[in-house]
Amino acid sequence: MQDLLELLVSASASGCIYGLMALSYLLITRPTGIINFAVGEWAALGAFAGYLALSRFDLPYMVGTLTVLVFMFAAGWATERTVIRPLIERQAPPLAAVLVLLGMLVVVRECLSLAFGPDPYNVPPGLGFGRVEIGPIAGSCQSLLTIVVTLVVFAGVWLFFERSLIGKTFAAVAMNRRAAALMGIRLSRVTSLSFAAGAMVAGLAGLLVAPMTSAHYMMGLPLAIQGFTALVIGGATKVSGALIGGIVLALAEQLAIRYLPIASGLAMAVPLVLLIGILLFKPHGLLGRAEAGR
């Protein structure tokens, strides 16, 4: 029983990372309709920025985290201004933006490889390497920090969309871009903010997972795949669906690796089997709903 409870804590922490990656997709896809598969490289960029801030420059953890978030905000904003906005202004199809962002994925990865080399880098955890035990529940300090930070981020994003005026403009753009523009909403500003916010969330995910896996230039692609899978499982239109999808995905993955009598390599296919099953029986995800007229 103790082993199961510790596994649940570890899986919840992994699920929170997947949920943050899914949220990064959602923040961009919801108002723009663009699927940004480069969020994984943004996570890697956040991990390496955390390494520089916390290890090279030895900044306090809170200061280093804020520095990473500001840097990622600027990276997301710059990405939208330099490679996405010209396509939107030329009325390019959404697929063009997806392909350009795939190109950005390769560019960022190769830049990280040239700058840091192939070796992994250790990123210090926010609360040290100790363990926390609360009754029968136990886990590493970094796992518990990841869970708490993720819950705070999701609560903040939910409040942003549901309670703030700017959040309502995001929702209006998501429903109908043309109607939102006719109402005076600046679509370019919403798009820029969505990319900046998505980069911040992905960078935060990279910073939180780096102490557990190290910062490596190839770390982005698995996170991008798991995040997108979590988004589809939970439902691609709801903030809560991103988190639930991430936790369901991580639980299925780690429970299979621990308890099923199969090789760990085969167990990695369990999330894909789960994804196929959910798409067959719930095509819009666990929390998603079919749109009217479809």
Per-residue pLDDT tens listing for the chain (294 residues):
566 777 788 889 999 999 999 999 999 998 888 899 999 999 999 999 999 999 999 999 999 999 999 999 999 999 999 999 999 888 888 789 899 999 999 999 999 999 999 899 999 988 877 777 776 677 788 889 999 999 999 999 999 888 888 878 877 787 777 777 777 788 888 889 999 999 999 999 999 999 988 999 999 988 998 999 999 998 877 888 899 999 999 988 888 877 776 666 666 677 788 888 888 888 887 876 654 333
Calpha distance 94→252 (Å, rounded): 33
**Exposure of 3 by Cβ count < 10 A (0-12 exposed, 13-18 middle, 19+ buried)?**
exposed
Whole-model pTM: value is 0.91
- Which letter, b or e, does each residue of 243-282 get, where b requires 16 or more Cβ atoms within 10 Å of its Cβ? bbbbbbbbbbbbbbbeeeeeeeeebeebbeebbeebeeee
**Exposure of 206 by Cβ count < 10 A (0-12 exposed, 13-18 middle, 19+ buried)?**
buried
Q: What is the dihedral of CA 174, 178, 180, 181, to 10 degrees?
A: 130
Contacts with 180 (C-beta within 8 Å, 6 or more apart), sequence order: 169, 172, 173, 187, 190
